[in-house]
Amino acid sequence: MKIGVLTGGGDCSGLNAVIRAVTKSAMYHFGWQVVGIQDGFQGITSQPPNVHVLDLHEVSGILDRGGTILGASNRGDPFNYPMHDEDGKPLLDEEGKQIRQDISDRLAENMRSLGIKALVVVGGDGTMRLANRLHVEKGMNIVGVPKTIDNDLGGTDITFGFNTATQIVTDATDRLHSTAESHHRVMIIETMGRYAGHIALNAGLAGGADIILIPEIEWTVEKVAAVIKERRRMGRRHTIITVGEGAKPKGGQLVTHGKLVEDSVIAERLGGIGHWLREALEDLIDLEVRVTVMGHTQRGGTPTAFDRNLGTLLGHAAVLAVHDKKFGQMVAIQGTQIVTVPLDLASRTRPVDPDSEAVRAARGTMVSFGD
């Protein structure tokens, strides 16, 4: 028996824990061979496939490493694959647009030629959508493992990578408190999270933010300014604002980098709401406003113990799911139990519930959501 494992989408802490668990569990429990596929789906669609056999030596000592030893990619959709010539230059049509083809049959054929009987796919919502389509349309034996710092996948209570990202933002917030207080400034901390506010909410709550702005709760700049002024009237001369990159003011637009990555599963690149908010606030308050964009620091570095353990649990569970032929499923954690759910459920995003206990606790401890 030979199985493959790949890591798709953006990287995050905990991926190596999954790879390690898949490899060790498959070899120890069932005597299977594990093939590592480089750079997500690109590795299995390339000619020849960019793969190699994983052994115990390669996965030893990687539990505490960030990133992924297999490489990750959020490009290379096999159903809409960008074509290149022999020199690697994009092939263009008569209108100057890059030519795209459905090469999913090549992917399936490469799997068969390599003797890979099942594939463990680790990724977020975009990766799970592709995995589900490959299972349904091409009959591929696939088990999914949920990964994203955004924590917005359906079917699971939490994704690995989220805990580490939240801790990184919390640590930064702790440090910004002292400099904000010293200089009587308003500090804006912009987090990742895309269209869900899980990181901003949880890191803001843990870091003692005074204002938390997330996509799920409508807010206005005027209300944010009013909260800052009220804090100053009460003798609080600094304010910490945590804002998710997908947050937008009531009636406003998402702030993006203005560039679409056409061959990516997720073409739109969010970012810049922190600086937009700073400019808007400076017309309404007389305090200095500074912005810290956390960016890709949230993806990198040593994973927390929680993410190492969750990655290990899910990686082991994925191998058991392959053994039990639970294909078209994703392993997930619900409560304290590891379960399997359909891949199509996993591809649905899970936003913050505005009436959740975390939001209630924040409001109850004088945190404003700008509404």
Instruction: Catalogue the active-site residues.
Output: 150
* Rounded CA separation 254/242 (Å): 16
Determine the 3-state secondary structure of 341 from DSSP: strand
- Cα separation, 147 vs 154, in Å, equals 11
Write the single-letter amino acid at 342.
P
Distances in Å between the alpha carbon of 301 and those of 9, 11, 67, 72, 256? 17, 11, 8, 15, 26
For residue 234, what are its two tokens? 């009460």
Strand (E) positions, 179-302? 186-191, 211-213, 239-244, 256-260, 268-270, 289-293
User: Which of 194, 172, 118, 146 lies closest to 14 in space, CA to CA?
Assistant: 146
Number of neighbours of residue 140 by Cβ within 10 angstroms: 21
Residues 6+ positions from 351 with CB-CB distance below 8 Å: 152, 195, 196, 197, 215, 216
Determine which helix (DSSP H) or strand (DSSP E) holds 337, and give its type and residue range: strand 337-342
Tokens of 17: 């824990």
Distance CA 312, CA 164 (A): 15
CA-to-CA dists, residue 65 to 46, 144, 180, 246, angstroms: 27, 22, 32, 29
